[in-house]
A and B are shown apart, each in its own frame.
Chain A
Amino acid sequence: MKQQRVVPDFTLLALALALSIYGIAMVYSAGQTDVLTRVATLWERQAGWFALGLLAAYGLSRTAIRMLDWVTPPLYVGTCFVLLLLVFIGKGFGTGASTKSWLAIGGFRLGQPSEIAKIVVVLALAKVLAARRDAPKSLVDLWQPALVVGIPWVLIMAQPDLGTGIVFIGIFFAMLFWSGCSWQLLFMAVSPGISLVLAFNTTMWGIYFLVLIAFVLWYRPYLAEGISVILASFVTGVIAPSVWERLNPYQQKRLLVFLQPGSDPLRSGYHVIQSQVAIGSGGWLGKGFTMGTQKRLAFLPAQHTDFIFPVVGEELGFVGVTIALVLFLVLFLRCVRVAGRATDSFSSLVAFGVVSTWFVHVLVNIGMTLNLMPVTGIPLPFFSYGGSFMLACWIGVGIEMRISGEGRGKADTLVI
């Protein structure tokens, strides 16, 4: 095989750089409050993590994907081990104060391994799915990918970090879709989950159950699978109330508030309401960079992490929001292209897994700021303050660039 010259995908790099610089500027602005807090200087650290991320990305863009393929099993095992460790020695800090998501040694916080775990899960899932000649055809075929995602998922839910758990589920289904799973199979897989959610309204649940039975009769999966899907959906629907009771009160509240933010305006609903007020008061052009009053006067909570996007909305207005969203969209579309151009199935799956990870983050985080999604505490890629996360994002960028370079055709001959 002749040595292939990897051409860096400068457009992808430019998009990620633009988003990161935009993001660091917003972290800087988030620190500009009337009563200064420690947040004021965090942008410098974020810039440091960004530099580290660039290094990591450069390194990865020089690393053949085969290398990644090769290190995936030990990485996966290592990650699971660290996550298991966290269940026992994890520390809560910052936005994850109530979880054990931080790895700390001797009081020095190393980072949040769950951020890196997202990439590792993408790699591991890609490896498992790529090993198959065909896409999974039945639920039984899904046992391997489900196990690969399931182990770290259970460990992360034990922290408990609901947000990251949701991201894992997103990654799982996105990559199943990319591997060629039929939508019918995906539907059967999520069916118990849908049943769980709908169980809170008996009528809705009843209708859904009839639809499910009709679907099974029409699709005709293996008899055992059809029965087990229906049974599983039934069981989740029945146990839903007790699952609800086992949720932490704050989790219950968040879900209730999502349904009706005005119900508790001073406590749980407060974040969402203040976030909406910040965004809405921005108008077309916003109140000016660093000038947002909701942020300056601390009405906006977690303005440098989970709720950084309302700062964009308040200070730079609809124009600033649209620029950010378009940058994200263009980046995502380009990464989907990268996945499409990949020369082997592992690379393709990894490329799609990375972009779907980002997408889930963006959707859940930004949706949350407008109360389109419940508050789950998922950071916004390239924007939210957080070292591990910034690093993880740029690791993703490095991998995408490498796959783009190894891919078919020239990156720039294809329209995004």
Chain B
Amino acid sequence: MNFHPNDVQRRARVASGLLFLVVVFLVGSFFRAQVLQHTQYALASEKNRLREVPIPAPRGQIYDRTGAIIAENVPGYTVSLLAPGEDSLRSALRRLGGTIQMSGDQIDAVVRRYRRSPNRPAVIFGDASFDVVSVLEEHRIEFPGLIIQASPKRFYPDGPAVAALVGYTGEIKQAELDSMPGYKAGQQVGETGIEKEYESRLKGQEGVRFVEVDVRGRVVREAGAREDLSAVAGPPLYTNIDLELQKFIVRLFGDSLQGAAVALEPKSGEVLALYSAPSWDPNRFVGGVSAAYYDSLLTDKRRPLYNKAIQGTYPPGSTWKLASAITALEDGVVTLDERMPVPCNGGFQYGNRWYKCDGGKGHHGDVTLAQAIEYSCDTYFYQLGLKLGLARLVAGGIAIGSGERSGIDLPGESTPSFPAKDVNAYFNKKYGPHNWNQSFSLNIAIGQGENAQTVINMARFYTAIASDGQAAHPQVVPGSTDKERLFTLDSAQMAGIRAALAGVVLRGTAAASHIEGLTLAGKTGTAQNGRPEEHKPDHAWFIGFAPADNPKIVVAVMIEFGGQGARSAHIAASIIQHYLKATPKQLLSTEGL
């Protein structure tokens, strides 16, 4: 080698300089990573080790108007699994299958939840039974990512009594995740009823707990990794429901009757009670309904899951005669004391067809409008219909809200079927230009034909009769007090109509339901059931209010296949009587507290 000292010293300087530069470069690189990019890497490191475990927020409790509980929360358990990847999740679930029965579908569902939000623990059991929890607690050491946590579970103390009103909560569905921003897989949401309608008010705010995991997803520390964010419970929801009345209605329906009942406060539209029979138990839906129970509900011919108060539409029958009468009075076509040219003799001849009155049994003779309402005389209303004409009849019906939903604050209300305002266009389209004529107004006038209404919508119409021609939208939860004017009659006409309706119960079609000391007003109705081939009786309607001079409650009762309207009148009368008797008692008892 070239070993001249000068050369060696020169090479030493070069080498030293090179070493120095390399180390400076390395120090600079570390400065860049550790100081300049620190925030970014610190975040990555936290993301590595911390997993968020959601703390479900208790939903707001739901109360009735007196403070009785309709929906509350009870302690439940959620079992979920933290996994670093889909493969490890699957294998953990397979191993879990050795301890707890799990079907392939269940495993797939868990994996789907995981894919939706891989950083959250995938929910395995949204509502684990105590047995499952205790078994899993025993084997906990074998499943390092397993998280068992106490979480509030929805409970409806009066279950089936309030099902049609309150609905139930369930795990959020795939489709809902897409349409409801801010929600995450595995969360509980309101599926129907009040729970769904007021989801945003009830849900509360989910909290977060941080657990520390290692590279294999094992939970190494349960708490203290970072400060928890506690859950915020949803605020309580006070409804207009009178739970006591609701339960009374349930008892009246018993197990045998099927149909619906709605009770409204006439001036404000507050929903006091709403029931659809037969009912179902919402508690069995919370945390996932069993296939057996769900199937039994689906196959039940009485259609328990179908809300007959707001979803079912039925021909309103004679209860609709009030709409014809009011339209005629509004137009000044008749007065309450006016008689029709042809007296009732079991029916009315129009063109080449005989239109029966009360199935041919009605021989009401020469009656006034008030009497025609009392006795539900079809003959009178056929002539009234002709006098008004189809266009006016339909326009009047639309004015009282027969063409649209009542606007009750419950999801899933059906739109009634009713002709459109442009009658000619409507019937031309439906039947062809030459296949319909004015005779259609005969049927419309007595609430048959192109007319199917929900119970809630008819009840709303009667709140206008029971007050001053205006009606609020039915409200389960206090809200807007906007009212709509359905018709305009002077006070004498209003009094006359109410007197006629009182006469229905006093002397007329619902005389059997007269209760001493109670001036009950109302109208019966019988609706063809639409399935005559089954040879079942018609649907029975009664819509009424009391006291007749100063109404405090409107009740609509519709019994499917109930036969005559008088049958529903009995039930409605009992409801009204119970309510008017019970109300002061309740006031006394709350005053005493």
Contact = CB atoms under 8 A, between A and B. Distances in A.
A9 to B, nearest CB: 16
A35 B37 contact: no
Interface residues of A, number: 54
Contacts of B11: 177-178, 180, 340
B30 A178 contact: no
Contacts of A340: 8-9, 11-12
**Which of A178, A277, A321, A337 has most chain B Cβ within 10 Å?**
A277
Given A281-B38, A299-B215, A294 B45 contact: yes
Contact of A297 (B12, B22, B30, B220): B220
A145 B3 CA distance: 17
Interface stretch (B13-21, B345-353, B512-520): B13-21
Interface stretch (A58-66, A204-212, A328-336, A378-386): A328-336
B2 A293 contact: no
A94 to B, nearest CB: 19
B211 to A, nearest CB: 12
Interface string B159-193: 00000000000000000000000000000000000
B296 interface: no
A340 B11 CA distance: 8
Contacts of A35: 214, 218, 220
Nearest to A279: B33
Contacts of B37: 280
Contact of B2 (A134, A281, A372): A134
A160 B9 CA distance: 38
B456 to A, nearest CB: 57
Contacts of B85: 266
Nearest to A132: B1
A130 B8 CA distance: 13
B580 to A, nearest CB: 69
Interface string A304-347: 00000000010001100110011011001100110110001100
Nearest to B4: A180
A135 B35 contact: no
Contact of B30 (A129, A321, A352): A321
Contact of B34 (A274, A282, A329): A282
Interface in A81-117: none
Interface in B182-216: 212-216
Contacts of B212: 293, 297
A277 B48 contact: yes
B3 A348 contact: yes
B15 A178 contact: yes
A185 interface: no
Contacts of A46: none
Interface string A257-291: 00000000010000000101111111110000000
A280 B29 contact: no
B1 A325 contact: no
Contacts of B40: 280
Contact of B44 (A281, A367, A372): A281
B34 A321 contact: yes
Contacts of B220: 34-35, 297
Interface string B417-460: 00000000000000000000000000000000000000000000
Interface size class of B (residues with CB under 8 A): 35 or more
A123 interface: no
A119 interface: no
A278 B37 CA distance: 12
B12 A337 contact: yes
A329 B19 contact: yes
A279 B30 contact: yes
Contacts of A333: 16, 19-20
Contacts of B16: 333, 336
A282 B9 CA distance: 40
Given A132-B1, A279-B41, A294 B48 contact: yes
A134 B3 CA distance: 8
List 7 tightest A-B contacts by C-beta distance, closest first: A280-B41, A180-B2, A281-B45, A179-B1, A297-B214, A340-B12, A298-B215
Interface of A: 34-35, 129-130, 132, 134-135, 177-180, 266, 274, 276-284, 293-294, 296-299, 313, 317-318, 321-322, 325-326, 328-329, 332-333, 336-337, 339-340, 344-345, 348-349, 352, 359, 363, 366-367, 370, 372
Given A277-B45, A298-B214, A321-B34, 16 more contacts: A178-B15, A180-B1, A180-B11, A276-B33, A280-B42, A293-B49, A297-B48, A297-B213, A297-B220, A298-B216, A313-B34, A321-B30, A333-B16, A340-B11, A340-B12, A348-B8
25 contacts: A35-B218, A276-B41, A277-B45, A281-B42, A281-B46, A282-B38, A283-B42, A293-B48, A297-B49, A297-B213, A297-B214, A313-B30, A313-B34, A317-B34, A321-B30, A329-B19, A332-B19, A333-B20, A339-B8, A340-B8, A340-B12, A344-B3, A348-B3, A348-B8, A372-B29
Interface of B: 1-3, 7-9, 11-12, 15-16, 19-20, 22-23, 26-27, 29-31, 33-35, 37-38, 40-42, 44-46, 48-49, 85, 212-216, 218, 220
